[in-house]
Amino acid sequence: MSDLRVTIGGFFVLVGAIVGVTGLVANYHARLEPANVNLDCGLSMLLFGAIMLWLAWRKSR
Amino acid sequence: MRLAPVDYLILSLYFVFVLCIGWMVKRKVATSADFLTSGRSVPVWITSLAFIAANLGAQEVIGMCASGAKYGIMTAHFYWIGAVPAMLFVGVFMMPFYYGSRARSVPEYLKLRFDEKTRALNAVTFAVMTVFSSGISMYALGLLFQLVLHWSFTASVLLSAAIVLVYTFLGGLTSAIYNEVLQFFLIVLGFAPLAIFVVMKTGGWSGMASRLPAVMTHTWTYTAKASENPMGVEVFGLIAGLGFVLSFGYWCTDFLVVQRAMAAESMSAARRTPLIAAFPKMLMPFIVIVPGVAALALSHMALGYSIPLKPDGGPDYDQTLTTLMAQFYPSGMLGLGLTALMASFMSGMAGNVTAFNTVWTYDLYQGHIRKHAPDSHYLWVGRVTTIVGVALSVGTAYLASHFNNIMDFLQLVFGFVNAPLFATFLLGMFWKRATGHGAFSGLLAGTAAAAATHGLTIAENKGGWLGATLHTFPSSMAQNFWIAIFAWSTCFLVTLVVSLMSQPKAESELHNLVYGLTEIPHEDVPWYKRPTPVALIVVAALVLLNVLFW
């Protein structure tokens, strides 16, 4: 069902972008984690979402 | 824990998507079968992920992290000796009968295989249990959000219940299943980074292990004697009680999970559902248990982190997961982590509601109240039952908040009811001589045996209410495992004996219900789509994991 892949992909692209941009612009830090958690996790989710969208697109072609 | 606007934005975005899925699926629902059984049309990758997500409730996520901190990596036995072997069994051996019988629910299978009274017993206990367990997990979530975020108990309970209600009301089982897939990915992507960060902080796996007693990072090494490990269990109780009776009883007979496989689009897809689900399932310990283990190591590191305490001074392991998120996730990821927690709660609740729906509508309402109504009537009943089911769950959550002891008691009773079930199914599916009288009396006797075992033994000051104490267990976990073993054996023996004394069903009535009288269709599919090869790969991976963490 390619519809569901689009929905899930869309969700993670959006959330990944929001979290990633938060990592770029806002100065939020976790107490015990020095890395830029938001940027790293945001990009990972963005990538996951994009893969889902690509799978949906490949299926619908 | 304080949230920033971005955290609320992520949580709201999730709610929007969840409702959108409900809306999208709505137009596919025309009959009661669409609403209650997804019309047997869902692709296998979706049913597989839903199969584990429906079980992955908030209590599971929070509880497994808590057990990781309390018992160490031994908790993974719940997956590696418990869930996964049982999932293989249901896929390879039992699904042909569930799916092939065309039963719409697990209780309905019992009706076809045995008789009406066995179905009614199973349907009623199952319906009551689903309502209570979704209420109890709702209560746990409300309490946690109150504690951590200072949200009002009423607001978080009602909001989450309302959203689950809307999407299950709109799209029924399909909507619940589709959402479970989104929830599954959210849980993985929300919690996996936490596991990585915490373990890295303690110095990687070896660094973490060096800060802990060896028993916390081994699964089998310390199970020869119950006194050697914090769980207080030995290898026989573990394998027979947890691995065989409890796990097989849950994963092979609980309609909440089996319903997901029964919604699959073909027999081969239904059989592969639990098998494919076994792959992510066996990796879940790294996401839900390992953070708890690492939290314990972290608390020995003078970083200012410690396992939270209860008001009475004892460790409050249930807060391990949320305190870790507060330490390792900044606003942004923190919102996503909390959304994942919310998602796990919703998937568990929707699982309960959709299973309750089907059992109520088909097994109790159509079976006993109104037998021959047009299908549109049952669709209407299904929708109304969704509202009633959610309302009953909310009511139970409030009941739990006022009478905590009642909930402990109910969970105990549910354990008694569930433990013997697998014996009934095993005999029913693989021995054509088993009869309805046998199954019914076996179930009752098994439940009574469970209660008697609890009443005659003591563990951690629990049990022993029958006056005499025949045995004292080192932990209540060990007690639970042995209750299950006695309940199962009693049910098995009584079913066997009573069946032999009563009149069996004619063989012609048992086609597609019992092994030997069921033709398993040979589907012309490549090897990687056949159940046995997939199951063998799972077994190999499972052995590897057990050896690696021996």
Residues B395 and B436 in one domain: no
Whether residue B375 is contained in a domain is answered as yes
Whether residue B284 is contained in a domain is answered as yes
Cβ contact B349:B320 at 8 Å: no
- CATH code of the domain containing B370: 1.20.1730.10
Whether residue B381 is contained in a domain is answered as yes
CA nearest to A8 within chain B: B182
> Domain boundaries in chain A?
2-60
pTM over 0.80: yes
For B450, residues 6+ apart whose C-beta sits below 8 A from its C-beta are B415, B416, B417, B419, B420, B483, B484, B486, B487
Whether residue B167 is contained in a domain is answered as yes
Closest to B63 measured CA to CA, from B48, B51, B78: B78
- Domain's final residue, options B385, B400, B415: B400
Q: What is the DSSP letter of B42?
A: B
- What are the beta bridge partners of residue B459? B462
Residues B49 and B108 in one domain: yes
For chain B, how many structural domains are there in total? 2
Residues B121 and B48 in one domain: yes
Residues B95 and B50 in one domain: yes
SS3 B462: strand
Residues B361 and B407 in one domain: no
Residues B301 and B411 in one domain: no
Whether residue B369 is contained in a domain is answered as yes
Report in angstroms the alpha-carbon separations of B474 from B67, B214, B467: 17, 20, 19
Residues B483 and B424 in one domain: yes
For B453, residues 6+ apart whose C-beta sits below 8 A from its C-beta are B482, B483, B486, B487
Residues B158 and B282 in one domain: yes
Of B13, B178, B326, the CB nearest to A15: B13
Whole-angstrom Cα Rg for chain B: 23
Whether residue B26 is contained in a domain is answered as no
Whether residue B451 is contained in a domain is answered as yes
| Per-residue tens of pLDDT for chain B, all 550 residues | 788 899 999 999 999 999 999 998 888 888 888 888 888 888 889 999 999 888 888 778 888 899 899 888 998 989 999 899 999 999 998 898 899 888 899 999 999 999 999 999 999 999 988 888 888 888 888 888 888 888 898 988 898 899 999 999 998 888 989 999 999 999 999 999 999 999 999 988 999 889 988 888 888 888 888 788 888 888 888 888 888 888 888 888 888 889 889 999 888 889 999 999 999 999 999 999 999 999 999 988 888 888 888 888 888 888 889 999 989 999 999 999 999 998 888 888 888 999 999 999 999 999 889 889 898 999 999 999 999 999 999 998 888 878 766 666 776 777 788 888 999 999 999 998 999 999 999 999 999 999 899 888 888 877 778 887 888 888 888 888 888 899 999 999 999 999 999 998 888 888 888 888 877 777 777 888 888 888 999 999 999 999 988 8
Classify B130 in phi/psi space as left (phi over 0), alpha (psi -120 to 50) or beta.
Answer: alpha
B46-63 burial, b at 16+ Cβ within 10 Å, e below that, comes to bbbbbbbbbbbbbbbbbb
Residues B110 and B77 in one domain: yes
Residues B225 and B106 in one domain: yes
CA nearest to B7 within chain A: A19
Cβ contact B337:B330 at 8 Å: no
Q: Can you state the angle between helices B106-113 and B421-430, rounded to 10 degrees?
A: 50
Largest pairwise CA distance in chain B:
71
β-sheet with B457-459: strand ranges across: B462-463, B457-459, B471-472
Degrees to nearest 5, angle at CA B98 with B417 and B484? 25
Whether residue B524 is contained in a domain is answered as no
Residues B381 and B484 in one domain: no
CA nearest to B177 within chain A: A4
Q: Is B387 on the interface with A (CB under 8 A)?
A: no
Q: Do A3 and B333 count as a contact with CB atoms less than 8 A apart?
A: no
Cβ contact B450:B416 at 8 Å: yes
Q: Is A9 on the interface with B (CB under 8 A)?
A: no
Q: Do A18 and B333 count as a contact with CB atoms less than 8 A apart?
A: no
The C-alpha atoms of residue B138 and residue B346 are separated, in whole angstroms, by 9
Parent domain of B157:
36-305+343-400
Of A11, A23, A32, the CB nearest to B182: A11
The C-alpha atoms of residue B237 and residue B70 are separated, in whole angstroms, by 19
